[in-house]
Structure 1
Amino acid sequence: MPNQKILYITTEMYPYQEDTNMAAVVNKMALKMHNEGNDVRVFMPRFGQISERKFQLHEVIRLSGMNIIINDLDQPLIIKVASLPGERLQVYFIDNEEYFKRKQYYFEDDGTAFDDNDERAIFFARGVIETIKKLNWVPDVIHLNGWMTSFVPLYLKTYYESDSYFKDAKIILSLYNEKDAGFSKNVDEKLKFDNISGLKALDNPTFQNFVIESMEYVDMVVKGDEFLNEDLDKAFNETATPKSEYLDIDSINKLY
């Protein structure tokens, strides 16, 4: 159905990331929906590996300047934007020097997970939500891709529960086989600062367990990878949330 406002929140998208299924799928979904007459916007982190010069990113001053408070610490929110190369599709980048300037995504060179991945996910989720509100653009559909985006529905259904801005948006979560890791700092204390507690994922806080937790906070779950790892597949099969098996790009319209 055309003329919908569709928001893709993702951690990967081609050509900013290459050689991953998620990056390719998000690119194809967003372009397909855009070319079919929908108002499509994409939000993603401005990871340090993304070249601002190559992809012509520029800061949006009117959207930047907010501070996101995480565990009583103010972090400045910078918003950058670019058009997808060769297309008239805008991609917004959530940026912060402390969280996203580093060249790796989630892990040190030795494979150790960054000890602030929890804060980065909270900052990204809240940064997207606050920026969308500042744009005064109300999405009909929010489609989540990547473990970091699982914090978005958790915040929308708790911290922002009394905010009616997104109340009519349909939230879709795509599942992918991503490298998993635990959070090495006290993510429960940081969430508690925002009055979020009682999550099952806090019993064993890992990337994947937050994705599994967020299945209960969305309107639909879909397989982004055709075959999921055992734990993710089990959670997919057991969730009471409406769900869809893997869809090829030609059939993606069925989700909306």
Structure 2
Amino acid sequence: MAKTKLLIVTHEMSPFLELTKIAEITRQLPQAMQEKGFEIRILMPKFGNINERRNRLHEVIRLSGMNIVIDDTDNPLIIKVASIPAARMQVYFLDNEEYFHRKHVFNDAKGKFFEDNDERSIFFCIGALETVKKLGWAPDIVHCHGWMSALIPVYIKTNYKNDPTFKNSKVVYSVYDKSFEGNLNPTFSKKALMANMVAKDTKAFEKGDSESLQIGAITHADAVVLASENTDDAVLKFVKDSNKPILAYNLTDDFENFYNFYEEISNDELVSVA
């Protein structure tokens, strides 16, 4: 029997970048699933404060060289990789000089939210999907963690829905606590549109705040994980009203509940809402 293929998309992971509890979950969860027989791939941005030498990152030439177009501008994508020897796992890092070579992650030295965080998110989501295509690896489950991955569900259910790499993928989105204050650029939902998409596909993202990004991701996901004890009331209501499979907040040592949830999702013929 073929192994279940699980793709983890996250903006942070221990030990490379630790901002919130997402980093701990995205470190432990894939290892637990690998130990249960899953085949794992992990993708995250290569932020400037991730030490390449200490973490032994090196470029993957065969995957690098693509350009991600955002707002009619070509943005080169460089792929790097690092191993976690204790877990026998590899993590792929998406790099771009303009978007990620900074000392700070989401806010500048004065605490101001970067004005181009919208484009950084778009670049990361499209780049992640294009990288997986180039790997020639079709995931059974794509599990998205953190607001930077919020566009992944809508892209898979629209622009990539007939792509052999993703046409059979089930998308899971983890809902965490409110992840940032303020709003992304007002043109975020328009910039996010890819060639085969229409305005209504990203309409849920129009406000560009934390709540709308979560709701936009949930709208197009096949299943939802409540990953925090305290979920925003409006988001929680939207999740419950969506009638999608839900994994309630419960972090067990062996992640057995995630294993069962993944198996249930991958074996069931879930109806796409896209």
Could you state the TM-score of these two structures normalised by the residue count of structure 1?
Answer: 0.93
Task: Kindly state the Cα deviation for residue 80 of structure 1 after the two structures are TM-superposed.
Answer: 0.4
Change (3 A) 1:158 1:180: farther
Q: Is contact 1:71–1:193 with CA below 8 Å preserved after alignment?
A: no
**In 1: Cα distance, 2:169 partner to 2:161 partner:** 13
Change (3 A) 1:150 1:202: closer
| 1:82 maps to amino acid | A
1:55-101 deviation per Cα after TM superposition (whole angstroms, max 9, x unaligned)? 10000000000111111100000000001253310100011011111
1:135-176 deviation per Cα after TM superposition (whole angstroms, max 9, x unaligned)? 111111111100111111111222223323211111111111
1:232 equivalent in structure 2: 235
**In 1: Cα distance, 2:160 partner to 2:141 partner:** 17
| 1:102 maps to amino acid | R
Match of 1:220 among 216, 223, 226: 223
Q: Is contact 2:141–2:172 with CA below 8 Å preserved after alignment?
A: yes
Change (3 A) 1:57 1:208: farther
Give me the identity figure in percent: 41
Q: Is contact 1:2–1:36 with CA below 8 Å preserved after alignment?
A: no
1:248 aligns with 2:254: no
Moved more, 143-152 or 188-197: 188-197
2:190 equivalent in structure 1: 189
1:38-57 pair list within 5 angstroms:
38-57=38-57
Task: Kindly state the Cα deviation for residue 225 of structure 1 after the two structures are TM-superposed.
Answer: 1.3
**In 1: Cα distance, 2:90 partner to 2:127 partner:** 17
**In 2: Cα distance, 1:113 partner to 1:216 partner:** 26
1:173 equivalent in structure 2: 173
Moved more, 178-187 or 39-48: 178-187
**In 2: Cα distance, 1:193 partner to 1:179 partner:** 25
Secondary structure in 2 matching 1:109:
coil
Secondary structure in 2 matching 1:166:
coil
1:158 aligns with 2:158: yes
Give the 4+ runs in structure 1 shifted more than 6 A: none
| 1:36 maps to amino acid | K
Change (3 A) 1:144 1:203: closer
Q: How many residues align?
A: 256
Q: Is contact 1:59–1:79 with CA below 8 Å preserved after alignment?
A: yes
1:78 aligns with 2:81: no
Task: Kindly state the Cα deviation for residue 229 of structure 1 after the two structures are TM-superposed.
Answer: 2.7
Moved more, 123-132 or 150-159: 150-159
Change (3 A) 1:19 1:190: closer
Task: Kindly state the Cα deviation for residue 49 of structure 1 after the two structures are TM-superposed.
Answer: 1.4
**In 1: Cα distance, 2:16 partner to 2:2 partner:** 27
| 1:65 maps to amino acid | G
1:64 aligns with 2:64: yes
Moved more, 237-246 or 53-62: 237-246
Secondary structure in 1 matching 2:249:
coil
Task: Kindly state the Cα deviation for residue 5 of structure 1 after the two structures are TM-superposed.
Answer: 1.0
Q: Is contact 1:55–1:85 with CA below 8 Å preserved after alignment?
A: no
Moved more, 162-171 or 24-33: 162-171
1:91-130 deviation per Cα after TM superposition (whole angstroms, max 9, x unaligned)? 0001101111112221122222111111111111111111
Change (3 A) 1:165 1:42: same
Match of 2:203 among 180, 183, 200: 200
Secondary structure in 2 matching 1:77:
strand
Change (3 A) 1:243 1:174: same
Gap runs ≥5 in structure 2 = 263-274
**In 1: Cα distance, 2:235 partner to 2:125 partner:** 22
Q: Is contact 2:186–2:207 with CA below 8 Å preserved after alignment?
A: no
Could you state the TM-score of these two structures normalised by the residue count of structure 2?
Answer: 0.87
| 1:58 maps to amino acid | H
1:201-228 deviation per Cα after TM superposition (whole angstroms, max 9, x unaligned)? 3441223312211112111001111221
